[in-house]
Amino acid sequence: MDPLRIFRLNQTYRNINRLRTILTVFAKHGFYRFLDDMNLTYIIPLVNRLKKIKSDPIDNAVIPRRIRMVFEELGPTFVKFGQMLSTRPDLIPEEFVVEFAKLQENVPPFDIKTVKEIIESDLEYPCSVLFESFDDEPIAAASIAQVHHATFSDGTELVVKVQRPGIEKIVKTDLSILFMLAGLVEKYFPSLELYNPLGMVDEFARSISKELDFVTEASNIERMARNFSDDPVLELPGVFWEYTTKRVMTIKFIDGISISDIPRLKKEGYDLEEITKNAVNIFLKQVLVHGYFHGDLHPGNILVLKGNRIGLIDFGIVGRINKKMMESVATIFVSSMREDYDAIAEEYLEMGILSDDIDFEEFKRDLRDILEPFYGRPLKNINTGELMLETIRVCIKHQIKVQKEFLLLSRSIMTLEGVARQVNPDFNLLDEGTPFIKSLLLQRVSPKRVSTDIYKSVKELTKFSAVFPKQMKTLLKKMITDSFTITFKHKGLDDFMGEIDRSSNRLSFSLVTSALIIGSSVVMNIGSGPVWKGLSVLGIVGFCIAGFFALVLALLIIRSGKL
């Protein structure tokens, strides 16, 4: 069944209205013909269809900018979607990544009365009972939530994060529409399947669902706190669980200076070199020791505390990598420093992200072309994040699937490295990371690790030996009894059937119009019914209706570009 029909059967009237709004905005920004190819233009209000909507092909150079403008106009869900795509150069072309990175959340705060209603509904007590004080003006406001400063009766300073009213329902509606549109894009534009539109929306749905659940974010903070319980350099905002729900999160306020406020840091006597070293070492421990790292390390989320200590906030996005990927990252760094292109390429193969038909030698040559310009530079002039992203671009060129965890790690390293060099221009990530990298690589050849790997291999071999004969017996039995089935999937037939449907609908419309014209002519000649100025009123009405139908049909045909 057509995805649109499924949508119309299962969604509410409000969702249909939202779909109409989304399609109208896309049409307004020049995507009318794109929507027409997917048989969606009939949902756009007639008054908008009859207006002069630009339907000429759009210059490819302006498509990314136009889509960014569409996302900005459609609000929070689409802005978040674009922001997610801007971190995935493996999914979309670079020009879209650059344009979507410009998307900003520019939303006004919601009123304090609503804020308190949500808190009191979730925590079941009045704000005056829960808190000694609660600031009416928010510290910050975003598309999902806003945060307020508050205190307990004992003087403990707090940050209370409150979800926007109705945002979950808005996101749910928009996600259902995004899934439908992605399905239609894959159906009507097979060439775009390479970018996996449904996969993009599915990943975004999982990501934003976590952001909408503050219990998940609070759990992220708790896990990070456990990992760094014995590290005096890092301070995290403690969670007050009895004041935390899915829509409200209460955490301890961290009083610090943004790491990007260099003039203030200098004025108050902080050691910029030590600050940089502490921030980077914390991140390297997260990645290479615990395999669990903060995924959004922009300057606003990194605070500097007394004693050159570091505070981290906003744990809506975190990354997880396993031991194998930790070691792979370490090997890639070391191999890059040694200019060992074979080892780098083989490590990508070990990570399991190379396609079977890749030209391995060409891949290595492209890696060499990308990496060689970095060699010969002083270490302080080598940007490790840039190096990793350039390598990812080579992977994309060869249609290599890059793991999303590795992409988030690369983006985080690039962001943190940029922040660190603002504070300390002589900073070098490779120097700071060397001790962690050596430790990881030594673990790979330790007796304990080797014996563990051997045990796992023997266990897997034993399991395979047990199930293989049974699986082969089942396969042979199916082949012998003719129950072995091969399924073929056609492509393009749905488009052909859709074109037939449109043609038959227009033909039916034309026949009705012709019948009205003929019938009106007969009535005019007979002169039956009411007469006005010697002409049959019924005939005049019939001609008017036929003329209107003919005009609408002509407009639809002209706008389709298929005269």
Q: Render pLDDT for 374-421 as a digit per residue (tens, 0 to 9).
A: 665 555 566 666 677 777 777 777 767 777 787 788 778 878 877 888
Residues 381 and 476 in one domain: no
**Domain limits at 326?**
256-445
In a domain, 368, yes or no: yes
pLDDT band at 2 (very low <50, low <70, confident <90, very high): very low
Residue 42 falls inside a structural domain:
no
Q: What are the CA-CA distances from residue 183 to residues 39, 45, 171, 176, 509 (Å)?
A: 13, 23, 18, 11, 29
In the residue annotation, 357 being an active-site residue is answered as: no
Quote the pLDDT of residue 61: 67
Give a yes or no: residue 79 inside a domain.
no
Tell whether the model's pLDDT for residue 163 goes beyond 90: yes
Could you give the percent of the chain with pLDDT greater than 70? 74
User: Of 37, 90, 174, 296, which one is the catalytic site residue?
Assistant: 296
Statement: residue 243 has pLDDT above 70: yes
Is residue 435 located within the same domain as residue 288?
A: yes
Contact (Cβ atoms closer than 8 angstroms) between residue 547 and residue 500: no
Phi/psi for 138 (5° steps) reads -70, 150
Q: Are residues 535 and 407 in the same domain?
A: no
> According to the model, what pLDDT value does residue 427 have?
74
> Is there a domain that residue 5 lies in?
no
pLDDT value for 247: 93
Q: Are 331 and 201 contained in the same domain?
A: no
Round the CA-based radius of gyration of the chain to a whole number and report it: 31
- Distance of alpha carbon 388 from the chain centroid: 20
Q: What is the pLDDT of residue 326?
A: 81
End-of-domain residue from the set 224, 253, 282: 253
324 occurs within a structural domain = yes
194 and 116 belong to one structural domain:
yes
Q: Which residue has the tokens 């399609």?
A: 23
**What is the rounded average pLDDT of the residues 462-468?**
73
Instruction: Look at residue 38 and tell me if it is in a domain.
Output: no
Of the residues 203, 228, 253, which one is the last residue of a structural domain? 253
End-to-end CA distance of the chain: 29
- Same domain flag for 239 and 274: no
Question: 304 φ, ψ to 5°?
Answer: -105, 130
pLDDT recorded at residue 491: 54
Give every CB contact of residue 406 below 8 A, 6+ residues apart in sequence. 321, 325, 329, 351, 392
Q: How far apart are CA 560 and CA 556, in angstroms?
A: 6
Among 266-275, 288-297, 417-426, 527-536, where is mean pLDDT lowest? 527-536
Q: Is residue 329 part of a domain?
A: yes
What's residue 50's pLDDT? Answer: 58
The answer to whether residues 513 and 452 belong to one domain is no
Lowest mean pLDDT among 20-34, 113-127, 225-239, 473-487: 473-487
User: Are 279 and 416 found together in one domain?
Assistant: yes
**156 and 146 fall within a common domain:** yes
**Mean pLDDT within 169-194:** 84
| 274 shares its domain with 233 | no
pLDDT digits (tens, 9 = 90+) for 247-261: 999 999 998 898 888
> Closest Cα to residue 66, out of 96, 107, 90, 37?
96
Per-residue pLDDT, averaged over 545-560, amounts to 69
* pLDDT of 515 over the 80 cut: no
Could you give the number of structural domains in the chain? 4
Q: Which of 199, 226, 253 is the last residue of a domain?
A: 253
**61 CB burial (10 A radius; 0-12, 13-18, 19+):** exposed
For residues 438 and 333, the answer to whether their CB atoms sit within 8 Å is no
Q: H-helix or E-strand containing 499?
A: helix 493-526
Residue 28 covered by a domain = no
Q: Are residues 114 and 246 in the same domain?
A: yes
Q: Do 182 and 235 share a structural domain?
A: yes
Average pLDDT, the chain: 78
